[in-house]
Amino acid sequence: MSVDAWTLLRNTERGVRARGLRAAAAAIREDASELVAIAAAETSLSAARLGGEIERTASQAELFADLIDEGSYLDAAIDHEAPGAPELRRMRVPIGPIAVFAAGNFPFAFGVFGGDTVSALAAGCPVVVKTHPGLPETSRATHLVVRDALESNGFPVGALRIVTERDAGRALVEDPSVAAVGFTGSVSGGRALFDFAAARETPIPVFAEMSSTNPTVVAPEAAETDAEELAEQLAAAVTASAGQLCTKPGLIFIPESAATLIATISGRIADAEPQPLLSPGITERYEHRLDDWRRAGVRALVDGRATSQGQTAMLGITSLGELAGTLEEEVFGPAALLVTYRSLDEVPGTLRALGGQLTTTVRATGQDLDAIDELLDAAASTSGRVIVNGVPTGVRVAWATTHGGPYPASTNASSTSVGASAIDRWMRAVTWQSTPDRFLPDELREDPRSRVPRRVDGVWEGADA
Residue pair 385/362 in contact by the 8 Å Cβ criterion: no
Q: Coil, strand or helix: which one is 231?
A: helix
pLDDT digits (tens, 9 = 90+) for 369-394: 999 999 999 999 999 999 999 999 99
Scored b (16 or more CB within 10 A) or e, 348-370 reads bebbeebbbbbbbbbbbeeebee
The answer to whether 247 and 405 have CB atoms below 8 angstroms apart is no
Of 13, 455, 9, 15, whose CA–CA distance to 444 is shortest?
Answer: 455
The CA distance from 123 to 120, in Å, is: 5
CA–CA gap between residue 185 and residue 135 (Å, rounded): 14
Q: Which residues of the chain have pLDDT under 70?
A: 1-3, 463-465
Which DSSP helix (H) or strand (E) runs through 337?
A: strand 335-341
Element (H, E) at 293: helix 280-295
Please classify residue 81 by burial: count the beta carbons closer than 10 Å to its beta carbon, then call 0-12 exposed, 13-18 middle and 19+ buried: exposed
Query: Is the bond into 408 cis (omega within 30 degrees of 0)?
Result: yes
Q: What share of the chain is helix, strand, coil (3-state, %, to 5)?
A: 45, 20, 35
Which pLDDT score is estimated for 167?
85
At residue 463, the pLDDT reads: 65
Distance CA 311, CA 44 (A): 13
Active site residues: 209, 246
| The predicted structure's pLDDT at residue 325 | 92
Sheet holding 160-163, edge to edge: 160-163, 127-130, 98-101, 180-184, 206-209
- d(CA 38, CA 201) in angstroms, rounded, equals 41
Q: Write out the DSSP string of 307-323.
A: ETTEEPPEEEEEEGGG-
CB pairs under 8 A, 24+ apart, for 446-450? 450/13, 450/14, 450/15, 450/71
Distance from C-alpha of 161 to C-alpha of 83, rounded to nearest angstrom? 50
Cα–Cα distances in angstroms (integers) from residue 197 to residues 124, 188, 203, 241, 415, in the given order: 22, 14, 5, 32, 17
Cβ neighbours for 180, distance < 8 A, ≥ 6 positions apart: 95, 96, 98, 99, 204, 205, 206, 207, 425, 426
Q: Of 163, 59, 136, which is closest to residue 395 (Cα–Cα)? A: 59
How many other β-carbons are positioned within 10 Å of the β-carbon of residue 319?
12
In angstroms, the CA 216 to CA 362 distance is 6
Which residues share a beta bridge with 94?
A: 427
Burial classification of residue 82, based on how many CB atoms lie within 10 Å of its CB (0-12 exposed, 13-18 middle, 19 or more buried): exposed
Domains and CATH numbers, the chain: 3-210+413-460 (3.40.605.10), 216-388 (3.40.309.10)
